[in-house]
Amino acid sequence: MKRLPIGVMVPTLVIGIMALFMVLPEFFISLKKPVDFNMLTDAEIKSGLHVEGDVYLILDTFATEETYTKNSDGSRTPSKVSGYYYIIPVGEESYIGIEGSVDNRSAFKAIDDSTWAWLTDAAADLDPNAYYHYEGYIEEMDEELYQYFVEWFQDMEWFETTDAAQITPYALPLMIKPMSPGLMPLLIIGFAMIALNVLFVVLHMNYKKKAKAAKAAAVSSDEPWAPPASAGTTYSAPDTGYTPPPSTPASGDPWDAPDKQGVRCRRRKCEQNMKG
């Protein structure tokens, strides 16, 4: 790959990071072993728990979520309720929210009716058929929802007070939510987008590496050949078995002296040259 496709890399990288940012925290929670939220103590109730259990007590709906479609001309379609938020007791004396949907609305409404019949009639028992098995995780409730949550306890004077400071120690800002149905698809998309960008970078680096090697090979072929230098290498003549003559003449002839060795001439002519 000669050039990096920045026009493709930037949007795919943004999509991948956003997808992972949205689902990774929930994915890590889903890997934990779920605990029964009905068995939690007040001290154990906290955000980040993977929980499951049977919902069999619901005080009321404290908020709803509505969705609508906004048209290009500024108008919008009628709002539809897409989510319900209920109050359930947990621990010894605490209350948190739980998120419901249109699909489980009838089941949660039956639990709500059974709970109030039991609370208002001393002779009534909880409906054994009014329960709903729920699996999800606990997270922090957003500020707006928590305001509605506290207001319900104030309006009902559940703790015989409307003072928020006396309510908040028991009305915890926590919500049980279901696991996202698109968790795994979003996770796959996120990792796929990141992997695609890594592949682009690897292909580009391999291209540059091969181009650099080809350029070096082309430059090398244009240069004259020279033997490689061998640092620290010395050379010597091969041993022929020849032994040089001794440094002192054996015959006493001055022409055999060391300073005359190597002079090649006829003896008589050399003597005449010396005398002359």
pLDDT tens, 113-145?
999 999 998 888 999 999 999 999 999 999 999
CB atoms within 10 A of CB 73: 6
Confidence at residue 26, expressed as pLDDT on a 0 to 100 scale: 82
Confidence at residue 107, expressed as pLDDT on a 0 to 100 scale: 95
- Average per-residue pLDDT in the chain? 81
Whether residue 249 is predicted with pLDDT greater than 60 in this model: the reply is no
Is residue 38 within 8 Å of residue 135, measured between CB atoms?
Answer: no
Confidence at residue 224, expressed as pLDDT on a 0 to 100 scale: 63
Tokens of 171: 């009305």
Between residues 227 and 188, the one the model is more confident about: 188
Nearest of 135, 134, 117 to residue 126 by alpha carbon: 117
CA angle 200, 206, 211 (to 5 degrees): 125
| Reported confidence tier of residue 260, pLDDT bands at 50, 70, 90 | very low
**Which tens digits make up the pLDDT trace of 27-54?**
888 889 999 999 999 999 999 999 999 9
- Euclidean distance between CA atoms 167 and 184, whole angstroms: 39
- Euclidean distance between CA atoms 100 and 68, whole angstroms: 18
Whether residue 185 is predicted with pLDDT greater than 90 in this model: the reply is no
CA angle 31, 37, 39 (to 5 degrees): 120
- Beta-strand relationship, 171-178 and 94-101: parallel
The pLDDT of 156-183, averaged and rounded, is: 92
Flag whether the pTM goes above 0.75: no
Confidence at residue 49, expressed as pLDDT on a 0 to 100 scale: 95
Query: Residue with structure tokens 């120690």?
Result: 169
SS (HEC) of the chain: CCCCCHHHHHHHHHHHHHHHHHHHHHHHHHCCCCEEHHHCCHHHCCCCCEEEEEECCCCEEEEEEEECCECCCCCECCCEEEEEEEEEEECCCEEEEEEEECCCHHHHHHHHHHHHHHHHCCCCCCCCCCCEEEEEEEEECCHHHHHHHHHHHHHHCCCCCCCHHHHCCCEEEEEEEECCCCHHHHHHHHHHHHHHHHHHHHHHHHHHHHHHHHHHHHHHHHCCCCCCCCCCCCCCCCCCCCCCCCCCCCCCCHHHCHHHCCCCCCHHHHHHHHHC
